[in-house]
């Protein structure tokens, strides 16, 4: 689909990813990637999941546009989650394009950065100290039987990849410019959903390619875990607010539909997290709790009537726990909550 002259959106199949509200009952059907016309080659933003169906859709889309893989000269990845980065290695081989990623994502994509067994053990201990029942941590005992080039720190029991990862040619730090002759994008570092998440901003044409930083309907997953940044929700809110200064008329997200009212959407996202913090504080009025118990009492998806905790599977519980901890961590930084170690468990209470 040609969104505006020179920018095409390809909707790629998404077999599985624990993104956004999926853990709370919704499944995202596709990842959006963008092909952008250039004078000396096309720019591709994100690559999609490494899957044979994805390649088929890619080939069909390129044919409809009238180009082939060799016409792609630059591949920019918004962040290293496999639904955005998984196919980057294969596409780099097919096209010969230069591959770009933010430096904060480096540790997630370099081989042997973190051993699978270590991830499983760290995650198991972390879940336990935050109150997760042993029957849920037990599922983390499963180790992949094949060599892994990527294993999800958050979902090591569900999301792994044994194929060839893309090897970036250039690591961004933020502030760089990517030109295609027809479009000139500024690289904006927008941490939160991932430590090295970036957006691309075309100032003259007032276009923002937002990756998973801002989506049209769901709230992007912002969770604290042993492998995240120290305060991902604080990072997210700050980088969201920075975008309010931009003149934007078109937002091209990594999932769902493109939209035009960025300021309204930012206000909705900031308000959502404020309400979630207030819900956490209300729960803590009854006394200290471990994060898992707090997550059980939070009204998940109240705009849809609420999703009972009992209807969430263990992956859903893990997502909810991470999001709860992200809010607790920000409340702790704000001086509204304190954390206390009691035995093996970490308890939170009002300061």
Identify any residues that bridge with 207 across adjacent strands, giving them in sequence order.
Answer: 202, 250
Better-scored residue on pLDDT, 143 or 19? 143
Per-residue confidence (pLDDT) for residue 301, from 0 to 100: 74
Summarize the confidence of residues 27-54 as an average pLDDT.
Answer: 90
What residue ranges define each of the domains in the chain, with the CATH number in brackets? 2-109+164-266 (3.60.15.10), 116-158 (no CATH)
345: pLDDT confidence band, cut at 50, 70 and 90?
A: very high
Q: pLDDT (tens digit, 9 = 90+) per residue, 44-64? A: 999 999 888 899 999 999 999
> Does residue 146 surpass a pLDDT of 70?
no
Per-residue confidence (pLDDT) for residue 215, from 0 to 100: 96
156: pLDDT confidence band, cut at 50, 70 and 90?
A: confident
Better-scored residue on pLDDT, 226 or 162? 226
Per-residue confidence (pLDDT) for residue 27, from 0 to 100: 47
The sign of the torsion formed by the CA atoms of 323, 343, 136, 126 equals: positive
Per-residue confidence (pLDDT) for residue 20, from 0 to 100: 38
> Does residue 149 surpass a pLDDT of 90?
no
Per-residue confidence (pLDDT) for residue 165, from 0 to 100: 79
pLDDT-wise least confident of 119-123, 129-133, 172-176: 119-123
Per-residue confidence (pLDDT) for residue 347, from 0 to 100: 98
> Does residue 116 surpass a pLDDT of 90?
no
> Does residue 26 surpass a pLDDT of 50?
no
Neighbour-count burial of 230, counting CB atoms closer than 10 A to its CB (0-12 exposed, 13-18 middle, 19+ buried): exposed
Per-residue CA distances from 236 to 31, 96, 143, 233, 245 (Å): 21, 34, 32, 5, 15
Per-residue confidence (pLDDT) for residue 19, from 0 to 100: 41
Contacts of 215 (CB under 8 A, 6+ apart): 20, 253, 254, 255, 256
24: pLDDT confidence band, cut at 50, 70 and 90?
A: very low
Structure tokens at 65: 């546009």
Per-residue confidence (pLDDT) for residue 93, from 0 to 100: 95
> Does residue 113 surpass a pLDDT of 60?
no
Q: pLDDT (tens digit, 9 = 90+) per residue, 295-334? A: 999 988 766 677 888 888 888 899 999 999 999 999 999 9
pLDDT-wise least confident of 185-194, 280-289, 313-322: 313-322
Structure tokens at 334: 């704000």
22: pLDDT confidence band, cut at 50, 70 and 90?
A: very low
How far does the chain reach from its first CA to its final CA, in angstroms?
52
DSSP letters, 283-301, are HHTT--EEHHHHHHHS--S
Summarize the confidence of residues 96-122 as an average pLDDT.
Answer: 83
């Amino acid at each position: 689909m040609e969104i505006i002259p020179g920018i095409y959106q390809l909707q790629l199949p998404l077999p599985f990813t624990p993104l956004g509200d999926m853990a709370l009952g919704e499944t995202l059907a596709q990842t959006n990637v963008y092909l952008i016309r250039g004078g000396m080659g096309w720019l591709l933003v994100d690559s999609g999941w490494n899957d044979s169906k994805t390649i088929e859709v890619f080939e069909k889309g390129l044919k409809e546009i009238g180009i082939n893989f060799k016409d792609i000269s630059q591949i920019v990845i918004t962040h290293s989650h496999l639904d955005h980065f998984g196919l980057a290695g294969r596409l780099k081989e097919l096209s010969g394009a230069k591959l770009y990623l933010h430096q904060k994502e480096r540790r997630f994509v370099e081989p042997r950065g973190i051993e699978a067994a270590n991830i499983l053990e760290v995650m198991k201990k972390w879940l336990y100290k935050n109150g997760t029942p042993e029957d849920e941590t037990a599922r983390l005992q499963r180790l992949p039987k094949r060599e892994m080039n990527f294993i999800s720190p958050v979902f090591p029991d569900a999301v792994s990849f044994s194929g060839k990862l893309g090897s970036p040619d250039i690591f961004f730090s933020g502030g760089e410019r990517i030109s295609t002759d027809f479009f000139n994008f500024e690289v904006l570092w927008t941490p939160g959903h991932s430590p090295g998440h970036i957006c691309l901003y075309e100032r003259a044409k007032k276009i923002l390619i937002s990756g998973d930083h801002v989506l049209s309907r769901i709230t992007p997953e912002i969770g604290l875990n042993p492998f995240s940044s120290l305060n991902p929700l604080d990072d997210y809110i700050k980088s969201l607010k920075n975008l309010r200064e931009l003149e934007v008329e078109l937002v091209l997200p990594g999932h769902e539909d493109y939209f035009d009212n960025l300021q309204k959407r930012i206000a909705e996202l900031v308000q959502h997290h404020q309400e979630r913090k207030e819900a956490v504080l209300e729960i803590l009025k009854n006394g200290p709790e471990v994060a898992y118990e707090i997550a059980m009492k939070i009204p998940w998806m109240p705009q849809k009537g609420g999703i009972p905790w009992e209807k969430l599977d263990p992956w859903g519980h893990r997502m909810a726990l991470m999001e709860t901890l992200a809010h607790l961590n920000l409340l702790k930084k704000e001086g509204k909550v304190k954390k206390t170690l009691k035995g093996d468990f970490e308890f939170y209470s009002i300061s």
